[in-house]
């Protein structure tokens, strides 16, 4: 995939690799927070049961 290609192409440059890994970790954390927020909103939502069927 795209991320593994980036990492492989940067293997000779540890500084560049470290920056890419930090960006990946930051993006993963942001995505995790977004998913948690969506999940929390669906858990507290009050959906009428008769409308779901």
The model's pLDDT over 1-53, given as tens digits with 9 standing for 90+, comes to 566 676 667 666 678 778 888 888 899 899 999 999 999 998 887 777 676 55
pLDDT value of residue 45: 77
pLDDT given at position 51: 63
* Cα distance between residue 36 and residue 27, in whole Å: 14
Structural domain boundaries of the chain? 2-43
Mark out the alpha helices in 1-53 (DSSP H runs): 2-9, 14-44, 49-52
Taking the whole predicted model, whether its pTM rises above 0.85 is answered as no
Cα–Cα dist 20/52, whole Å:
44
Q: Are 3 and 24 in contact (CB under 8 A)?
A: yes
């Amino acid at each position: 995939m795209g991320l593994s290609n980036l990492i492989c192409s940067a293997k000779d440059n540890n500084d560049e690799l470290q920056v890419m890994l930090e960006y990946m970790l930051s993006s993963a954390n942001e995505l995790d927070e977004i998913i948690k927020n969506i999940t929390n909103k669906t858990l507290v939502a009050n959906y009428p049961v008769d409308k779901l069927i």
